[in-house]
């Protein structure tokens, strides 16, 4: 599989990534864990290096699944996850509203690291723009997390052009989803 670079970042990934949401969320079927782990390993064997998840997928269970599959082969893969929702364990995923307050982002990143069972996240996206938190503050927190070595790259999802420019001025954005 060919490799591609995400913009000017030095983040190199396979030309196709693997979206993992549907393995545990959204399409009405929860798939067998061992089968999904084998599928991810088959993807790696075929040259796929880029895996996409989010805190809200499950919630939490999709990250746990990726942790089981990918943490043993950490050096072969690029792992992307996302923050940005309020999640309560009993709550319907995503129904608790947006939350990109700086403290919440830090907690979410720690939780993702733990569930993925890795010591840094290659690409951390804001899942949805939170109108209550200036994007500069969001980019600023991610910048801190990058300086602490917990995150390698910053991404945005479903953001508009002005939001992207403002975020990028604080912390370069590697990818828009």
Partner 1 sequence: MIPTLEELGIGFVPYSPLGKGFLTGKMDENTSLGKGDFRSTLPRFTPEARKTNQSFVDLLGTIAKQKNATPAQIALGWLLAQKPWTVPIPGTTKLSRLDENIGSPSIELTSNDLREIDSAATKIPVEGDRYPEHLEK
Interface residue list for partner 1 (CB under 8 A)? 1-2, 4-9, 11, 13-23, 26-29, 31, 35-36, 39, 42-43, 46-48, 50, 52, 80, 155, 157, 161, 164-165, 168, 172-177
**Cα 41 to chain center, whole Å?**
19
The residues carrying an active-site annotation are 57
Which residue's CB is nearer to partner 1, number 36 or number 133?
Answer: 36
**Which residue is it, tokens 């979206």?**
19
Q: CB-wise, 1 or 110, nearer to partner 1? A: 1
Determine the Cα–Cα distance for residues 3 and 10; give it in Å rounded to an integer: 12
What does the block give as tokens for 40? 């991810």
- Indicate the residue among 19 and 111 with the shorter CB distance to partner 1: 19
Rounded to the nearest 10 degrees, the angle between the axes of helix 102-116 and helix 135-147 is 40
| Nearest CB to partner 1, comparing residues 23 and 118 | 23
Measured from the CB of residue 123, what is the shortest distance to partner 1 in angstroms? Answer: 9
Residue of 149, 150, 146 lying closest to 172 (CA atoms): 146
* For helices 135-147 and 161-170, angle between their N-to-C axes, nearest 10 degrees: 40
CB of 88 to partner 1, least distance (A): 19
CB atoms within 10 A of CB 35: 10
- Work out how close the CB of 113 gets to partner 1 at its nearest, in angstroms, rounded to a whole number: 21
| Residue 11 structure tokens | 């983040």
C-alpha to C-alpha distance for 63 and 121, rounded to whole angstroms: 12
Q: How far is the CB of 117 from partner 1 (least distance, A)?
A: 21
């Amino acid at each position: 599989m060919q490799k591609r670079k995400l913009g000017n970042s030095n983040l190199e990934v396979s030309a196709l990534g693997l979206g993992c949401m549907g393995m545990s969320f959204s399409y009405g079927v929860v798939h067998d864990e061992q089968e999904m782990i084998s599928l991810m390993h088959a993807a790696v064997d075929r040259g796929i290096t880029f895996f996409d998840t989010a805190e809200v997928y499950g919630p939490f269970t999709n990250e746990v699944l990726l942790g089981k599959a990918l943490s043993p082969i950490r050096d072969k893969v690029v792992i992307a996850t996302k923050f940005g929702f309020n999640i309560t364990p009993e709550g319907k995923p995503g129904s608790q509203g947006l939350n990109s307050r700086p403290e919440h982002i830090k907690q979410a990143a720690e939780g993702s690291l733990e569930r993925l069972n890795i010591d840094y996240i290659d690409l951390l996206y804001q899942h949805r723009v939170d109108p209550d938190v200036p994007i500069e503050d969001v980019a600023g927190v991610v910048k801190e997390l990058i300086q602490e070595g917990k995150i390698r790259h910053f991404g945005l999802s479903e953001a508009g052009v002005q939001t992207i420019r403002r975020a990028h001025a604080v912390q370069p954005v590697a990818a828009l989803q």
